[in-house]
Amino acid sequence: GVGLSVHGHFRVATEKTLFAMPETAIGKYFNRLSCGGYFLPRLSGKIGYYLALTGFRLKGRDVLKAGIATHFVESEKLPALEKDLIALKSPSTENIADLLNSYHVK
């Protein structure tokens, strides 16, 4: 899932999120554009290299802090967020961003 979802414009994490790419710990890069070999080195600082070399797992807010998630929403609010996303009359990038920002917990 990470290889596909990491390229999305919006990526929501919750306190239950677990980011893991264990294949990186054994040097597996199945597709440069979708797997860790593309996006991990592009994370800020050296966190991407660390994740690539160790296969370390990130949880919850750390996914946001690492720059993998774009928003952090409490898991209990996900049903309401989903309902509000579906109810958007014109789901433009700006409207979605505004809605996600209203649920985002800093």
How many CB atoms neighbour CB 65 within 10 A?
A: 14
pLDDT for position 33: 45
Q: Which of 23-27, 42-46, 58-62 has the lowest mean pLDDT?
A: 23-27
In degrees, to the nearest 5, what angle opens at C-alpha 76 toward C-alphas 103 and 74?
A: 45
pLDDT for position 20: 83
Output the pTM of the full model. Answer: 0.84
Most confident range, picked from 7-21, 22-36, 90-104: 90-104
CATH assignment of the domain containing 19:
3.90.226.10
Structural domain including 66 reads 1-103
pLDDT for position 1: 66
> Do the beta carbons of residue 38 and residue 54 sit within 8 Å?
no
pLDDT for position 52: 79
Q: What is the tally of structural domains in the chain?
A: 1
For residue 29, pLDDT beyond 60:
no
Q: Which two tokens stand for residue 26?
A: 């054994």
* Residue of 73, 66, 76 lying closest to 21 (CA atoms): 66
Amino acid (1-letter code) at residue 50: Y
